[in-house]
Amino acid sequence: MERTLVLLKPDAVERGLVGRLIARFEDAGFEIVEMCMERLSRDKAAAFYAEHAGKDFYDRLLDFVTRGPVVVMALQRDDAVERARQIIGATDPLAAAPGSIRGDFGLNKTFNSIHGSATREDAEREVEFFFPSVQ
């Protein structure tokens, strides 16, 4: 079994999409290993998105993910990272496949409703970041 991290961003929470988005992962055979809702501090958001520091969208990203609560999930199944990325869709909702979360619910590159681990290495780091007790 492989694990991945999915973060439902403040726009998904504000728009009442949490249940529908979780159901998409459960319907695809994912098991929720850990889940929490929290409001990220700017420091925690900066640490989580550290690889984007210095990019032109970084400050907007931090403003956005700290403006309200997020739902964070550690999910598992075979090929979890790849399958989650398919369900999530491309970062830009205009380029995301119809039927993907971002294709259906994303408003733009910033307000795209969801974060998912991009690689297995990212998934391990990100799950550990939010859920250090998950092995």
pLDDT-derived band at 44, boundaries 50, 70, 90: very high
Q: Take residue 129 and report the two structure tokens written for it.
A: 């970041």
> For the chain, what is the domain count?
1
Would you say 60 and 110 are in contact if contact means Cβ atoms under 8 Å apart?
yes
- The answer as to whether 135 is a domain residue is no
**Cα separation of 105 and 18, whole Å?**
11
Domain CATH for 10: 3.30.70.141
Half-sphere exposure (CA, 13 Å, Cβ side) for 38? Answer: 12
> Which residues span the domain enclosing 15?
2-130
Confidence of residue 112 (pLDDT cuts 50, 70, 90): confident
Residues 102, 118: Cα–Cα separation, whole Å: 15
Predicted TM-score (pTM) of this structure: 0.93
Q: Can 115 be counted among the known catalytic residues?
A: yes
Cβ contact 77:83 at 8 Å: yes
In a domain? residue 30: yes
- Among 89, 105, 115, 127, the one annotated catalytic: 115
